Amino acid sequence: MEISPSNDSCAYGQPGIFRGRLRFDNPRLADYSWPLCEIRGRKPGPRLCVSAGVHVNEVSSIEAAVRLQRMIDPETIQGSVSIIPLINQPAFYKYTELVCPIDGRNINFTFPGNRDGTFSEALCDSIMNEWCVDSDCYVDMHGGDLRENVSKFSIFQRTDDVELDALGRRMAMCFDAEIVMGLPAAHMEKSGRAPTAFARHNRLALMSEAGANGLLDEGSISFHLEGVLNIARTLGIIDAPLAPFLNARIPCDEYLWLDCPVDGEFHAEAEPGDRVTKGQRLGTISNLFGETLAEVAAPETGFLLWRMTHPTIPKGSPIGAVAVEETSVYR
Ligand SMILES: [Zn+2]
């Protein structure tokens, strides 16, 4: 990595607050630099990496990454917190939904990436193996692109490694979430989200999700912010008790996507966070004459994790997802 400080910054790697730009070594990423804030205590300790803006319209999570920079005092911490508030630089000021405009890939499902691959693949590889190389935990914050509303939830990757599994669960529980999603171990076989790719290398990464429709809202901002601060407290970077929890933090272990069965207008009958039962109608699809074309039913009993808010949805596109509650934490 090549790191250049801004005028008001301490030197990189020194105790204090570093602000500046980062360039990754991979020549495929050479046209871009990333904003970096790194807060370092005088005592060595754990390293926490935090990012947002893989999806540039998920603004509450981006705002949380900005505010986090002002909420950690280098005089009182041990170790470091490193923050990249906007990962998808090519989409900045383009408001691109979900993908990176250079290669059309969704960065969120491209981990672990590939050094010799497309821009998004190279970026995922550099996030994992340059910026996060010595991290004890990586948190990527998301939620609420232009046409979606998500419940407050956190994600970790379940693994057969008992220790890593327990650690992932404990850190995901640091968020005051409605739902704590442990992705099924079957996800480990393919490329996907950061928590999955990191777990394949016995490393820890988490995601947090909160927000709706490309809007800033204080509840979602503080969900992300307090969750990350709780992780820093749990890791021992910040010496303070955890902020209190008000939500149920229901452990779930299945993430079921709902695809739209037919082109049309989706009218939802359930909202993110709602408990739903198997077979329950979650909404209908109608045409522009108001005729009902199809009904969408819950595939299992669980919770509506998120749903699309713009009614117009083509056949085969996702309209939402259902999380299935864990039957036993020991399963
Ligand atoms: Zn996202």
Give distance in angstroms: CA of 148 to centre of ligand 1. Answer: 10
3-state SS string for 189-249: HCCECHHHHHHHCCCCEEEEEEEECCECCHHHHHHHHHHHHHHHHHHCCCCCCCCCCCCCC
CB-neighbour burial class of residue 73 (10 A; exposed 0-12, middle 13-18, buried 19+): exposed
Give the DSSP letter string of 77-101: -EEEEEEES-S-GGGTTTT--SS-T
User: With 70 as the cut, is the pLDDT of residue 330 above it?
Assistant: no
**Can you name the residues that pair with 317 across neighbouring β-strands?**
none
Q: Sign of the C-alpha dihedral, residues 194, 174, 322, 318?
A: negative
Q: Sort residue 324 into left (φ over 0), alpha (ψ -120 to 50) or beta.
A: beta
Give distance in angstroms: CA of 14 to centre of ligand 1. Answer: 32
pLDDT in tens, 39-96: 999 999 999 999 999 999 999 999 999 999 999 999 999 999 999 999 999 999 999 9
Q: How far apart are CA 188 and CA 208, in angstroms?
A: 19
Q: Which of 252, 251, 253, 274 is nearest to 320 (CA)?
A: 274
Q: How far apart are CA 87 and CA 100, in angstroms?
A: 10
Q: How far apart are CA 127 and CA 203, in angstroms?
A: 13
Could you tell me the pLDDT band of residue 331, with boundaries at 50, 70 and 90? very low
Give distance in angstroms: CA of 56 to centre of ligand 1. Answer: 8
User: With 90 as the cut, is the pLDDT of residue 281 above it?
Assistant: yes
pLDDT in tens, 229-280: 999 999 999 999 999 999 999 999 999 999 999 999 999 999 999 999 999 9
Give distance in angstroms: CA of 216 to centre of ligand 1. Answer: 14
pLDDT in tens, 181-214: 999 988 888 879 999 999 999 999 999 999 999 9
Confidence (pLDDT) at 190? 80
Torsion of CA 316, 107, 53, 88, to 10 degrees: -120
Q: Sign of the C-alpha dihedral, residues 186, 192, 195, 197?
A: positive
Q: What mean pLDDT comes out for the span 215-226?
A: 98
Q: Give me the amino acid identity at 123.
A: L
Contacts of 11 (CB under 8 A, 6+ apart): 5, 18
Give distance in angstroms: CA of 175 to centre of ligand 1. Answer: 17
Q: How far apart are CA 236 and CA 143, in angstroms?
A: 27
Q: How far apart are CA 47 and CA 78, in angstroms?
A: 9
CB atoms within 10 A of CB 242: 14
Give distance in angstroms: CA of 54 to centre of ligand 1. Answer: 6
Give distance in angstroms: CA of 283 to centre of ligand 1. Answer: 23
Q: What mean pLDDT comes out for the span 311-320?
A: 98
Give distance in angstroms: CA of 64 to centre of ligand 1. Answer: 14
Q: Which domains does the chain have, with CATH numbers?
A: 2-235 (3.40.630.10), 258-325 (2.40.50.100)
First to last CA, the chain: 42
Q: What mean pLDDT comes out for the span 127-139?
A: 98
Give distance in angstroms: CA of 108 to centre of ligand 1. Answer: 7
Give distance in angstroms: CA of 58 to centre of ligand 1. Answer: 6
Give distance in angstroms: CA of 143 to centre of ligand 1. Answer: 5
**Can you name the residues that pair with 113 across neighbouring β-strands?**
none
**Can you name the residues that pair with 72 across neighbouring β-strands?**
none
Give distance in angstroms: CA of 99 to centre of ligand 1. Answer: 10
Give distance in angstroms: CA of 154 to centre of ligand 1. Answer: 12
Give distance in angstroms: CA of 316 to centre of ligand 1. Answer: 19
User: With 90 as the cut, is the pLDDT of residue 320 above it?
Assistant: yes
Give distance in angstroms: CA of 98 to centre of ligand 1. Answer: 7
The token pair at 304 is 């509506």
Q: How far apart are CA 158 and CA 251, in angstroms?
A: 12
The token pair at 66 is 């900005």
Residue % of the chain over a pLDDT of 90: 96
Query: 138-147, 188-197, 312-321: which range is least confident on average?
Result: 188-197
Give distance in angstroms: CA of 258 to centre of ligand 1. Answer: 17
Give distance in angstroms: CA of 150 to centre of ligand 1. Answer: 10
Give distance in angstroms: CA of 125 to centre of ligand 1. Answer: 18
Give distance in angstroms: CA of 16 to centre of ligand 1. Answer: 31
Give distance in angstroms: CA of 239 to centre of ligand 1. Answer: 30
CB-neighbour burial class of residue 92 (10 A; exposed 0-12, middle 13-18, buried 19+): middle
Confidence (pLDDT) at 258? 97
Confidence (pLDDT) at 328? 62
**Can you name the residues that pair with 3 across neighbouring β-strands?**
22
User: With 70 as the cut, is the pLDDT of residue 159 above it?
Assistant: yes
